[in-house]
Chain A
């Protein structure tokens, strides 16, 4: 069974702190995507990771992909309240165009 697991599922952190969200997947894939979802809204694309070793950064967020370990990380640096949202990773199943979404991580940044 194809699984994409994220941890933690819930994360409450203080402003200014750093933290990492992990995305583990069970299928072979070399494409992984990170999204942000605000309550009642659809998905906002954050990062597209297309190869082993890919690292991308935007503002306080940095994402990386290790296809051999089947692991992606989303690192948050010096969190601010505006980063409060649910974050999903999605794995592109090799040979198809289908995504399998991770379980999601609900992040709350406390002022």
Chain B
């Protein structure tokens, strides 16, 4: 149980275009989803917290107009990278936290999406 999927697993796009990444919880409802980015050989950095039906909360330094997050349902959150630039190339990982569980507060991580902007 507690499976999170991401689509696509990898994407190459040209500078100036927009890319949408989907994050789905497959066998549970996720009150909260999180988006991380990871540069090569570095740790994961939290970008934003996404709650179903409300606006995402962005971490300091993350441009909310550039990284649009929509948590349309309890099983789906999307991250859209707008007007992508080569410096946006990274590994984007989402996670989901099942609402209603007591005690663990554990996040379940998706397989990641590798974005390359040319």
The interface of chain A, by Cβ under 8 A from chain B, is: 31, 33, 35, 40-43, 45, 48, 50, 88, 90, 92, 97-104, 106
Q: A33-B106, A90-B44, A101-B45 are in contact. List 16 more A-B contacts (CB 8 A).
A: A31-B105, A33-B107, A42-B109, A42-B110, A43-B44, A43-B93, A45-B106, A50-B103, A88-B43, A97-B32, A97-B49, A99-B107, A100-B46, A101-B44, A102-B43, A104-B43
**Smallest distance from the beta carbon of B12 to chain A beta carbons, Å?**
15
Are B104 and A48 in contact (CB-based, < 8 A)? Answer: yes
Proximity string of chain B (25-61) to chain A, C-beta cutoff 8 Å, 1 when within and 0 when not? 0000000101010000111111001000000000000
The residue of chain A having its C-beta at the shortest distance from the C-beta of B31 within the complex is: A97
| B111 interface contact, C-beta 8 A | yes
Are B111 and A97 in contact (CB-based, < 8 A)? Answer: no
Number of interface residues of B (CB under 8 A): 24
Number of A-B contacts defined by CB within 8 Å: 50
- 14 pairs from A and B in contact (CB 8 Å cutoff): A41-B112, A42-B109, A42-B112, A45-B108, A45-B109, A48-B104, A92-B105, A97-B34, A97-B49, A97-B107, A98-B34, A99-B107, A101-B43, A101-B46
**Smallest distance from the beta carbon of A24 to chain B beta carbons, Å?**
14
The residue of chain A having its C-beta at the shortest distance from the C-beta of B41 within the complex is: A106
Chain B contact residues: helix, strand, loop or mixed:
strand
- Docked complex Cα distance between A43 and B109 (Å): 6
Q: For residue B93, which residues in chain A have a CB less than 8 angstroms away from its CB? A: 42-43
Q: For residue B107, which residues in chain A have a CB less than 8 angstroms away from its CB? A: 33, 97, 99
**Smallest distance from the beta carbon of B8 to chain A beta carbons, Å?**
14
> Which 8 residue pairs are nearest across A and B when measured between Cβ atoms?
A42-B112, A43-B109, A101-B44, A42-B111, A101-B43, A104-B43, A42-B109, A97-B97
